[in-house]
Amino acid sequence: MSKLSNLKARVLVAVIVGPLLLGLTYLGDLFFFALALGITLLSMYELNLLLKARDSKTPVWLDMGLTTILLLNFKFGFTAAEHILFGVVIIRVLYEMFRNDGSALLNTGGSLLSIMYLGLAGGAIVLLREQFIDQTKGGLFLIALLLTVWTGDSVAYFIGSAFGKHRLFERVSPKKSWEGFWAGLIGSMVIMVVFAYTMLPWLKVPHALVIGFIVGTVGVLGDLAESLFKRDSGIKDSSNLIPGHGGVFDRFDSLFASAPVIYLFLQFFEIK
C-alpha cells in the first residue's frame, strides 16, 4: 500500500471508528467494559500470533478466558485482585503440566506475558473510569485520554515522517525518530492542557501536564515494546484487522502501557 493510500485508509477508519469508540466510552458501564474487554482480547489474540511465530503453543482461548475473569473482577470487585492473579498462575501452570505440546517454559511464559501485560493493562483501563465517583466526569476523562493518545501518535507520525533524521531506537523500530518523539510528547502535553481548560475544568493544569507527559513517554515505550515483539517474531503488523492501521494491538499499544501509570498517578494524588 502506498503512503497516500495508507494515509487515506487511516483517515477513513478514524472517521468511522473513532466516534463509535468515544461514544461507548462516554456511555460507560457495561458499554465501556465491553469495549475495554474487546480491545484487550483482540490484542491478546494478535500477541498470540506473534508467539506462535516463535513456536510457542500458548492456549489462547484459555488465556483469554482467564483474562476475562480478571477484567470482570476489576469491574465488579468480587475479590482482591491478587486472589485472581494467584489463581491465574496456578491454573496456567497446572494446564501445562497435563499437556505435552511444545516447550512448557515457552508456552507458560508466553501465556503469562500476555495475561500480565495486556490483562493488567486492560484492567487499568477499566479502573480508570471506575476511579471517578462521577461517571460523567470519568467518561469525559477517558475520552480526553484517548484523544490525547491519538493526537500524540498522529503528531509524532507526521512530524517524524516529514522531518525525522535522528533515529530514536533503530534496533527496535528503524522508522521512529527523536524529532517525532519530541513532537508527540509536546502534542500530548498541550492537548491535555487544552482539555483541562475546556472539558475537564476540575483537572489542575500541573496534573494535566503530567498525564500528557506519561502518554508521550510511557506510551512510546509501549509502542517500542510491541515493535520489539513484532521484530522478534518477524511479523510487520500484529494483524491486518484495521485497514491502514494494522492490528488492534498496534493501535492501542500506547494506551496499554500508559493506562496503568496514569491510574497509579490518579490514585496517588486522589484525583476523583
Q: What is the pLDDT of residues 204-217, one digit of tens each?
A: 999 999 999 999 99
| Contacts with 23 (C-beta within 8 Å, 6 or more apart), sequence order | none
Mean pLDDT of 252-259: 95
93-129 pLDDT, tens digit per residue, is 999 999 888 899 999 999 999 999 999 999 999 999 8
**pLDDT classification of 130: cutoffs 50, 70, 90:** confident
Polymer length of the chain:
272
| Contacts with 191 (C-beta within 8 Å, 6 or more apart), sequence order | 147, 148, 151, 152, 212
**pLDDT classification of 59: cutoffs 50, 70, 90:** very high
Mean pLDDT of 219-239: 88
Mean pLDDT of 212-232: 95
Helix and strand numbers (H, E) in the chain are: 10, 2
Domain count along the chain:
1
The mean of the pLDDT values for the chain is: 90
Confidence check: pLDDT of 3 > 70: no
| Contact predicate 225/249, CB 8 Å | no
**From start to end of the chain, where are the E strands?**
167-169, 173-177
- H or E stretch covering 169: strand 167-169
What is the predicted pLDDT for the residue at 174? 86
**pLDDT classification of 4: cutoffs 50, 70, 90:** very low
Phi, psi of 208 (to 5 degrees): -60, -40
Confidence check: pLDDT of 70 > 80: yes
Confidence check: pLDDT of 5 > 60: no
Confidence check: pLDDT of 237 > 90: no
For residue 67, which of 49, 36, 50, 88 has the smallest C-alpha distance?
A: 88
Percent of the chain with pLDDT over 90: 70
The whole domain housing 122 covers 3-268
Confidence check: pLDDT of 245 > 60: no
Mean pLDDT of 252-266: 96
More confident of the two residues 218 and 161: 218
What is the predicted pLDDT for the residue at 9? 54
